[in-house]
Amino acid sequence: MDLNARYSRQINLPQVGISGQEKLAAARVLVIGVGGLGCAVLPYLAASGIGYIGIIDGDVVSESNLHRQLLYTAEELGQPKVSVAEKKLKALNPSVQISAENAYLTGENAVKTIENYDLIIDGTDAIAARYLINDACVLSGKPFVHASLYRFQVQVSVFNYQNGPTYRCLFPNPSKNAPSCAEAGVLGTSVALAGMLQANEVMKMILGIGEVLSGQLLLKDGLTNTQEIFRFSTNKDIHITTESFKKEHQQVIRKIDFASAKAKKGIFLDVRQKQEKPTINLPNLLQIPVQQLRDEFAQLPRDTSIFIFCQSGKRSEAGYKLLAENDFKNLYCLLENAPELEHLI
């Protein structure tokens, strides 16, 4: 294939040229999540001749994806997204190498995966995943291009670029409950717009042209066509270390059954609201709703075991994580929760 013919329109740009095309061919880019954002970004990355593209996602194609994730068709429902995407991207540009991983990014695989690339694109749709990517990128010294949506509004920024500020500098403590597109709803055009802005940053970073959105949050409103840039700088109080990464992203929740817990020294912690039934009565019981836990650390012992329970096990895990992050040791989630405990006491 004649490279000059295929890429002639971009090579003709004085800011690209043959040397720019060579930079693209030498680049290794990882796209995390092949949903709305990934599907928008990927065809342009592949078509531009980026040499090596990694994709990672553990999801399968479902019907509600099809209005915005245009790499997929109704014939591919139920198939792993990365397999379908790999096939489509190969067809679009056979000279691009694709590495497809049918898995979710986790605290266990994030750093190892990210280390293999020059540049990371965050195409996920959950706040926790965005923090995981941020922290793994900081530990690996890789820049990443972020985009996120709330309905018709789009945020785009580039983090950890040439020692620039990170996602945590912008949002040190965001709500972990910000709604995903599934919950809030989204138009295909909004997410495509966000993806295009991301892909455009990728091009500039690889080619070394223009001004990259580092230390800048671009906020675009698809309904009003207004856009604004907010500037922010590095927060020197934020340090991400292997230790903090482990604590936040590689937590294993220790479980224990009620009989074994009773035999050990410790206290039981009910993290439900006070009025929730059934009421559990135990001699060494503390009752602190999970929402108030952060303000009540002083009530909790640091020298003995804490056995946490709630109604279903969900809030007890949230409480466990919060306490573990705040250096409580000897934590356990009870295998039985209030409805079962009622019959065991």
Partner 1 sequence: MLTIHYFGEIAEKTGLTSEKLHSQGQHISTVLAELQKKYALENGEFQVAVNHELIDLSQDLELTETDEIALLSAFAGG
Distance, first Cα to last Cα, the chain: 76
Binding status of residue 126 toward partner 1 by CB under 8 A: yes
Binding status of residue 135 toward partner 1 by CB under 8 A: no
Q: Report, as residue numbers or ranges, the catalytic residues.
A: 181, 310
Q: Which of 122, 135, 201, 270 binds partner 1 (CB under 8 A)?
A: 122
Q: Which of 30, 53, 170, 192 binds partner 1 (CB under 8 A)?
A: 170
DSSP E strand stretches across the chain: 28-32, 52-56, 97-101, 119-122, 144-150, 153-159, 216-221, 226-231, 255-256, 266-270, 285-287, 305-309, 331-334
Q: Closest Cα partner for 60 from 71, 47, 76?
A: 76
Window 296 to 335, contacts with partner 1 (CB under 8 A): none
- Backbone φ and ψ for 42, nearest 5 degrees, come out as -60, -45
Q: How many residues sit close enough to partner 1 to count as binding (CB under 8 A)? A: 40
Residues 113/54, Cβ–Cβ less than 8 Å: yes
Minimum distance from CB of 198 to partner 1 (Å)?
A: 10
Which CA distances in Å does 326 have to 114, 181, 186, 237, 319?
Answer: 28, 31, 36, 17, 11
Binding flags for partner 1, 24-63, as an x/- string (CB under 8 A): ---------x-xxx--------------------------
Window 193 to 252, contacts with partner 1 (CB under 8 A): 194, 217, 219, 228-233
Widest CA span in the chain: 80
Binding flags for partner 1, 140-159, as an x/- string (CB under 8 A): -------xxxxx-xxx----
| Dihedral sign from CA coordinates of 59, 65, 66, 68 | negative
Region of residue 337 (left: phi > 0; alpha: psi -120 to 50; beta: else): beta
Q: Which of 13, 18, 26, 184 binds partner 1 (CB under 8 A)?
A: 184
Binding status of residue 181 toward partner 1 by CB under 8 A: yes
Minimum distance from CB of 147 to partner 1 (Å)?
A: 7
Q: Which residues bind partner 1 (CB under 8 A)?
A: 33, 35-37, 122-127, 130, 147-151, 153-155, 170-171, 173-175, 178-181, 184, 186, 191, 194, 217, 219, 228-233
